[in-house]
Amino acid sequence: MNSQPTASSPAANDAANPAAIVLLSGGLDSTTCLAIAQQQGYRVHCLSFRYGQRHQYELQRAENIARQFQVASHQVVDIDLAQFGGSALTDQNLIVPKHDTADEIGAEIPITYVPARNTVFLSLALAMAETHAANDVFIGVNALDYSGYPDCRSEYIQAFQTMANLATKQGVQGEKLTIHTPLIDLTKAEIIAKGLSLGVDYAMTLSCYDPLPPGVPCGHCDACLLRNRGFAENSIHDPSVQ
């Protein structure tokens, strides 16, 4: 893993490089995570989900991003989490909370939390890892901005990794699966700075929970406000905003 390709370089796709699964939503965090995985020399297989999210526009962004990064493969899995309900991200009858500034975002578990979402996503990444003989999974969870989401915390990720190594044929055969969370302790501003240093084009990404057609950020949901603050702290304009 000595190669240092740029974000859009296919050098990491050499078959000699180890395979990794990257969960790619099409947002700012997961795109930065993808750039980091490629920079570390992994041959990346991306995994995205059409899970009933109201912000499905992000999936088109994910496809564009995967193409631009020239990843080894990109799979979009359909799994309807809306049928379980319980979240404003999947239930059109619930309202995505809006604020004027990021400082108004509370520390409690928000209604945009989707029950067991990261567990479902990581489980499917585990299935994909096993069939690609990959021992590495990258997920762009962040414990600072998403302190209210139980499945964005380090202790959760550690427990998932322990379970995953007992769950699979690879684990039984002595291979060690690692869940990488390179963003977990970074602020949004630090994530953006990291991505920019790797050549990420954030104009391609969409973070909004509740975008207007054809994918225009609302500017007031938690995801928009955290993103806006991250760019402001870097004193740069968010290239995705006209």
Does 81 engage in binding with a second copy (CB under 8 A)? yes
> Can you tell me which of 57, 156, 202, 231 binds a second copy, judged by CB under 8 A?
156
> Can you tell me which of 58, 136, 151, 210 binds a second copy, judged by CB under 8 A?
151
> Can you tell me which of 2, 92, 166, 174 binds a second copy, judged by CB under 8 A?
166
Please give the structure tokens belonging to residue 138: 């990258």
- Nearest Cα neighbor of 200 from 160, 143, 232, 240 is 240
Q: Which is nearer to a second copy, 62 or 224 (CB)?
A: 62
Does 111 engage in binding with a second copy (CB under 8 A)? no
Q: Which is nearer to a second copy, 72 or 198 (CB)?
A: 72
**Three-class DSSP category at 159:** helix
DSSP letter at 221? B
Does 167 engage in binding with a second copy (CB under 8 A)? yes
Q: Which is nearer to a second copy, 2 or 83 (CB)?
A: 83
Does 94 engage in binding with a second copy (CB under 8 A)? no
CB of 83 to a second copy, least distance (A): 7
Which phi and psi angles does 189 have, rounded to 5°? -65, -40
Does 128 engage in binding with a second copy (CB under 8 A)? yes
Helix axes 28-39, 188-197, angle to 10 degrees: 40
Q: Which is nearer to a second copy, 160 or 202 (CB)?
A: 160
190 burial via Cβ count (<10 Å: 0-12, 13-18, 19+): middle
Between CA 48 and CA 63 the distance in angstroms is: 9
Does 182 engage in binding with a second copy (CB under 8 A)? no
Does 50 engage in binding with a second copy (CB under 8 A)? no
DSSP labels, 14-32: -TTSPEEEEE--SSHHHHH
The owner of tokens 């490629």 is 38
Considering CB under 8 A, how many residues would be counted as binding a second copy? 43
Binding-site residues for ATP: 24-34
Secondary structure E strands in the chain: 19-23, 43-50, 73-78, 136-138, 178-180
CB of 15 to a second copy, least distance (A): 18
Please give the structure tokens belonging to residue 139: 């997920």
E strand or H helix that includes residue 38: helix 28-39
Residues forming the site for a second copy (CB under 8 A): 75, 77-81, 83-86, 109, 113-120, 122-124, 126-128, 130-131, 150-151, 153, 155-156, 159-160, 162-164, 166-169, 171-172
